[in-house]
Chains A and B, each alone.
Chain A
Amino acid sequence: MKRQKTLIVGLGAAVAILAITFARPSGFVTASPSQFEALTAALAPHGMVLTGLALGQTMETAVPGPVGGSRAMEVAVATYGKVAQPIVYEGRLTMPDQDPPIQSVPVYAIQLGGLNLAPFGGPASEANLHRELVVFVDAASGRVLVAITVR
């Protein structure tokens, strides 16, 4: 009986090790209001205006049949890779400088973190590395509209 218990514990440990080794987390974290505020502040200097959905509005009411945060995250990860667990924001993106312009488009903003991006201009100090890539996925089509690095 004692050996059987040992066996069960041993097998459990082996399964756990394998699971941890090959795990592919599929979930994501939904952004908090303070995170949303921080992101909008980081984007504003670069001509990207991210606003929240209207009060009481959900992505489902903003866009008929939105692709959903999980699908948007899958698209972002498939396009740019992933290190840390993504954070998902819902909002509207405006980029008046773009031709054709992006005007108040409902988007999922997928924040891919855990990066160490240096500018192409050359090796950078730790302080000048960008840690995040924010990927804007059109909530209606599921296409990536644009992505930007942020500190």
Chain B
Amino acid sequence: MTFIGAGGGTVAGQVVDPRGPLVSPSTPKTFRVGVCCLISAFLALGALVMAGQAAVRAATNCDDGDVWNRFDGNRSDAQRVYAVRGKIRDRKINLCLDPGNTDNDSAASIWVMVAGWNAFEYAQVGYARIAGMAAPQAFIEYNDGENVAPGWARIFLPGIWADAAQHTYVVDYSGITGKLYFSIDGLNKGSMPWSPDFEWSTPWEGQFYAETWDLGDDVPGVAGARADWSLLAVQIAEPGTWVNPEGEQLTSDLTAYKNGWTVWPTAFQTWTQR
């Protein structure tokens, strides 16, 4: 062993720091490794949390402070409507989903509807995607406009929606039972369990809309692959036959939500273009 001077040098070929070891020689190696692991773990945790928050801000554009219905489509409000029909093309739905936040209000849907005169009185069928869902699904929803039973219900019907496919949706009132029935492609998919005769105000109207809940949600369809609507029709008597809707006027509640007639007044398109 050689020792050269007091200002530093080598000990058995190793550089010796004249200030002495940075870590006390009495500190166990496992302790030093443990401290490093602990610090690394907390740093990694912090980095992941911050990265997650950044991803939410950058990728979603969700605005939970401005959640409200926004529509794209039209209504037939010049007639007393007993039934409504529309053929809609299935398109993917882009939502402003907050990754990991399953409590958000993000949702989008596209549907045909018979609606009562007051708000929240409606029966609709179409397809929808809400926060948490991997893909859109056909759905039925009805509402009596009240906060008490029977209230409202939403029923999802998997196995029908398929990107670019088309389905014909119908909501049809029966004067025999006094109830509304829902069908997709001619197959009955359920009925409203109570009669709108006793729950809704009149007159009823037909509606054909895409709808979203958040500014960051898209209505189905994009410029190059729009959501096509066709076979639009209503029944204005019960029993009745299908006739063209009247009083239709395409409207959009957000400039990013586009629409246009292909065959007025029975076919149009809706899509999102941001």
Could you tell me if A11 and B38 are in contact, using CB atoms closer than 8 angstroms? yes
Could you tell me if B109 and A120 are in contact, using CB atoms closer than 8 angstroms? yes
**1/0 contact trace for B41-56 toward A, CB 8 Å?**
1100100110000000
Query: B134, B183, B193, B211: which contacts A120 (Cβ < 8 A)?
Result: B211
Could you tell me if B30 and A4 are in contact, using CB atoms closer than 8 angstroms? yes
Query: A78, A99, A125, A150: which contacts B187 (Cβ < 8 A)?
Result: A99
Could you tell me if A120 and B31 are in contact, using CB atoms closer than 8 angstroms? no
A79 lies within 8 A of chain B by Cβ = yes
Could you tell me if A97 and B190 are in contact, using CB atoms closer than 8 angstroms? yes
Could you tell me if B152 and A128 are in contact, using CB atoms closer than 8 angstroms? yes
Could you tell me if B154 and A17 are in contact, using CB atoms closer than 8 angstroms? no
Could you tell me if A79 and B153 are in contact, using CB atoms closer than 8 angstroms? no
B195 lies within 8 A of chain A by Cβ = no
How many interface contacts (CB-CB < 8 Å) are there between A and B?
Answer: 140
Could you tell me if A148 and B153 are in contact, using CB atoms closer than 8 angstroms? yes
Q: In the complex, which residue of chain A has the Cβ closest to the Cβ of B145?
A: A121
Could you tell me if A119 and B143 are in contact, using CB atoms closer than 8 angstroms? yes
B96 lies within 8 A of chain A by Cβ = no
Q: Which residues of B contact A46 (CB under 8 A)?
A: 153, 155, 190, 193
Q: State in angstroms the CA–CA spacing of A146 and B150 once bound together.
A: 20
Could you tell me if B156 and A97 are in contact, using CB atoms closer than 8 angstroms? no
SS of A interface (majority): mixed
Query: B30, B105, B154, B187: which contacts A130 (Cβ < 8 A)?
Result: B154
A81 lies within 8 A of chain B by Cβ = yes
B261 lies within 8 A of chain A by Cβ = no
Could you tell me if B141 and A120 are in contact, using CB atoms closer than 8 angstroms? yes
Interface residues on B, range: 35 or more
Could you tell me if B120 and A121 are in contact, using CB atoms closer than 8 angstroms? yes
**1/0 contact trace for A119-151 toward B, CB 8 Å?**
111111101101000000000000111111111
Could you tell me if B151 and A128 are in contact, using CB atoms closer than 8 angstroms? yes
**Stretch touching chain A among B2-10, B83-91, B124-132, B239-247:** B124-132
Interface residues on A, range: 35 or more
Q: State in angstroms the CA–CA spacing of A80 and B105 once bound together.
A: 14
Could you tell me if A4 and B28 are in contact, using CB atoms closer than 8 angstroms? yes
Could you tell me if B132 and A81 are in contact, using CB atoms closer than 8 angstroms? yes
Q: State in angstroms the CA–CA spacing of A139 and B111 once bound together.
A: 31
B65 lies within 8 A of chain A by Cβ = no
Q: Which of chain B's residues 137-158 have a Cβ closer than 8 Å to chain A?
A: 141, 143, 145, 147, 149-158
Could you tell me if A98 and B188 are in contact, using CB atoms closer than 8 angstroms? yes
Q: Which of chain A's residues 1-36 have a Cβ closer than 8 Å to chain B?
A: 3-4, 7-8, 10-11, 14-15, 17-18, 21
Could you tell me if B35 and A83 are in contact, using CB atoms closer than 8 angstroms? no
With A83-B103, A120-B69 known to touch, is A148 a contact of B132 (CB < 8 Å)? no
A45 lies within 8 A of chain B by Cβ = yes
Could you tell me if A146 and B102 are in contact, using CB atoms closer than 8 angstroms? no
Query: A45, A80, A149: which contacts B193 (Cβ < 8 A)?
Result: A45
The minimal Cβ–Cβ distance linking B193 to chain A, given in whole angstroms, is: 5
B107 lies within 8 A of chain A by Cβ = yes
Q: State in angstroms the CA–CA spacing of A10 and B107 once bound together.
A: 43
B268 lies within 8 A of chain A by Cβ = no
B250 lies within 8 A of chain A by Cβ = no
Q: State in angstroms the CA–CA spacing of A125 and B120 once bound together.
A: 12
Q: Which of chain B's residues 19-62 have a Cβ closer than 8 Å to chain A?
A: 27-28, 30-31, 34-35, 37-38, 41-42, 45, 48-49
A-B contact pairs, 28 of them (CB 8 A): A4-B28, A7-B34, A7-B38, A8-B34, A11-B34, A18-B41, A45-B194, A47-B190, A78-B134, A79-B134, A81-B134, A83-B102, A97-B189, A97-B191, A98-B190, A99-B183, A99-B187, A99-B188, A100-B187, A120-B109, A120-B211, A121-B69, A125-B147, A144-B159, A145-B158, A146-B158, A147-B158, A150-B153
| B residues at A contact (CB < 8 Å) | 27-28, 30-31, 34-35, 37-38, 41-42, 45, 48-49, 67-69, 102-103, 105, 107, 109, 111, 119-120, 122, 124, 128, 130-134, 141, 143, 145, 147, 149-159, 183, 187-191, 193-194, 211, 213
